[in-house]
Structure 1
Amino acid sequence: MPFVRIDALRADGERLDALGRAVQDALVETIGIPPDDRFQVLTSHDGVNSTLRYGTYYGVRRDDDIVYVAITLRSGRTDEQKQALYRRIAELAQEYAGTEPRNVFVLLTENTSSDWSLGNGVAQYLAPA
């Protein structure tokens, strides 16, 4: 069960929705996440009261169309699966939202089953005590 946070600069609701769909579809296609396993926080920053900063690290020329995608999920995916996920997110962000792949910054954080409670104060992924 991934938890996804997407931050974009001056994105309207339509663009945020498109970016959320791009990430969800990529998760389903590349690492087998169930389609209804969708938990996302989509945030637009106005550039004044809240904003995003970026540089040209690794020679990538980013601009104000930058999108940060932070995904937290349980560990267990191969490096190849992760690479496929990053590539597919960038492809679908361009297709669905018009975001150039150079502006798609993805951070994947892995954890263990005990790090999740899906509601009711229970760690559902742990075996019953």
Structure 2
Amino acid sequence: MPFVRIDALTTDPARLDALGRAVHDALTQAIGIPSDDCFQVLTGHDGASSTLRHGSYLGEHRDDGVVYVAITMRSGRTPAQKQALYRRIAELAHEYGGAEPRNVFVTVTENASADWSFGHGEAQYVTAATA
């Protein structure tokens, strides 16, 4: 059920795929997302016609290796689970895709069951809860 967007300064489809796998594996390992629950948009930026901006906020010195990961998911995870998720994403993005952990920027946005439709114009989580 997480919806993931990954933006990276790369034109290499294999690197984008590796980053997508890293985030998905971290979601399954750290917070128990089912392995077949994979909804991702992976966007590579070439640095010429599009770019990613980054700074050194909170003392994290990022460079053009920055990887932005935005995860939207239903609420209910504890801060400790989220921290474990962030760590695992950084570890696997480094292992699979060569991203330096300092360059892995992750945001989580939470919402409710009624905020999801997986097709057919239905809110499947709401329908399942009332069935």
Distance 1:69 1:82 in 2: 13
Distance 2:113 2:74 in 1: 6
1:24-80 CA deviation, whole Å, 9 max, x = no partner? 000000100000000000000111221100000000010000000000000000000
4+ residue runs of structure 1 moved beyond 3 angstroms?
Answer: none
Unmatched segments (≥5 aa) in structure 2: none
Distance 2:87 2:11 in 1: 22
Distance 1:3 1:42 in 2: 11
Tell me which residue corresponds to 1:66: 66
Tell me which residue corresponds to 2:112: 112
- Aligned pair 1:85/2:85, yes or no? yes
Unmatched segments (≥5 aa) in structure 1: none
Distance 2:122 2:111 in 1: 17
- Aligned pair 1:46/2:42, yes or no? no
Q: Which has the higher helix share?
A: 2
For these two proteins, the number of residue pairs brought into alignment is: 129
SS in 1 for 2:80: helix
Measured on the aligned residues, the alpha-carbon RMSD in Å equals 1.0
Aligned in 2, Cα 1:15/1:102: closer, same or farther, shift over 3 Å?
same
Distance 2:67 2:11 in 1: 10
SS in 2 for 1:83: helix
Tell me which residue corresponds to 1:121: 121
Distance 1:97 1:40 in 2: 16
Distance 1:65 1:13 in 2: 15
| % same residue | 73
Structure 1 position 11, deviation (Å)? 3.8
Relative to the length of structure 2, the TM-score reads 0.96
